[in-house]
Chain A
Amino acid sequence: MSPAADLQAIWVYLATTPLVGLTVTLVAYQVGDWIYVRGGRNPLLNPVLLAVLVLVGLLTATGTDYATYFEGAQFVHFLLGPATVALAVPLYRQLHALRKSLLAIVTAILCGSVTAAASAVAIGWALGASRQTLLSLAPKSVTTPIAMGISEELGGLPSLTAVLVILTGILGAVGGAFVLNWIGVRDWRARGLAIGVAAHGIGTARALQVNEVAGAFAGLAMGLNGLATAVLLPVLVELFG
């Protein structure tokens, strides 16, 4: 057999195992992280954003469909569940800070939650988005599984919502620090809450890398925002829809 035919045979074999999808995910993320560290930890060089760009490019170039890729990547994706549970640990370490300012935390998260949904729908409506897009936009700051459930209940498109949620998370993780510096908020608790409400788990991951207090508050904000949005949004749509 010629070397090219050998390679072809190897590729055919590998394409049926989860090994490639899993490996390229880990490699792409580490490449992204390397660029991020080399670039002086510039938020614009967000490792998730870089890894996604590399992988989308790779899938397009090799003509691989997402389902094939996900057969391998699902092992990484699965760990999101236990990792979410594990957020209880940094949260518990902030128990003292939580107790001290519980009212402030709940107020800030509720106002942020309403702002996220209302401003997204208002801007989209003013610029002529369709009703289905508006309903899909409304829960975009909430963590993916809750957001998809809400979108479905409202009459949006859950798969479109999933995309908007991911884009929002990357946007918040990339731009959050700039906005917070710009408005002069230095308190790590406030920074964490803001990122967690606006940019759910992707923002929380970013906050954890920067500061443990910010990470714990972001995780808390992500959970409570999900709860608040799931309860409030159907009522708001009923009132204004």
Chain B
Amino acid sequence: MLGYITLLLLCQLAGEVAVRLVGLPVPGPVLGMMLLFGGLVWKGAVPEGLDGAAQGLLRHLSLLFVPAGVGVSLHLPLVAQEWLPISAALVGSTLATIMVTAWIMQRLAK
């Protein structure tokens, strides 16, 4: 288990380093995810310990967004200034994005 937690961190670290070296427009952890995905495809199976480590982290993924969410309180005055266009844009755009993506996927996927 400890070895696989280290593997997750190593993938992230490799991602961070590669992003900065090459100047890619993605964050390190996303590249790290792609690296691990490539490794799994190459290996052809998920090791049991990795499965445990990943599930442990992902079971409470929502929790990990809470500290950043609390940061919203810092900028509320800024948002309050233009609350109408901002809230309409967020609600309308989220609605439209979900509808467009889901419709196209449902139409095209077999």
Q: How large is the interface on B (under 10, 10 to 19, 20 to 34, 35 or more residues)?
A: 35 or more
Q: Distance (Å) between the CB of B93 and the closest chain A CB?
A: 4
Q: Distance (Å) between the CB of A32 and the closest chain B CB?
A: 8
| Residues A120 and B90 in contact in the complex (CB < 8 Å), given A25-B66, A29-B63, A194-B102 | yes
Does residue B68 face the partner (Cβ distance < 8 Å to A)?
yes
Does residue A176 face the partner (Cβ distance < 8 Å to B)?
yes
CB pair B108 A107 closer than 8 Å: yes
CB pair A79 B64 closer than 8 Å: yes
CB pair B34 A187 closer than 8 Å: no
Beyond A70-B71, A140-B90, 11 extra complex contacts between A and B, CB < 8 Å: A47-B62, A52-B66, A55-B70, A83-B61, A89-B51, A89-B55, A111-B100, A112-B100, A172-B98, A187-B105, A197-B101
Query: What is A's interface to B at a CB cutoff of 8 Å?
Result: 25-26, 28-29, 47-49, 51-52, 55-56, 59-60, 66, 69-70, 73-74, 76-77, 79-93, 95, 100-101, 103-105, 107-109, 111-112, 115-116, 119-121, 123-130, 133, 137, 140-141, 143-146, 149-150, 157, 159-160, 162-164, 166-172, 175-176, 179-180, 183, 185, 187, 189-191, 193-195, 197-199, 201-202, 204-206, 208-209, 215, 219, 221, 223, 226-227, 230-231
Query: What is B's interface to A at a CB cutoff of 8 Å?
Result: 5, 8-9, 11-12, 15, 25-30, 32-37, 39-41, 46, 50-51, 53-55, 57-58, 60-75, 78-79, 82, 84-86, 88-106, 108-110
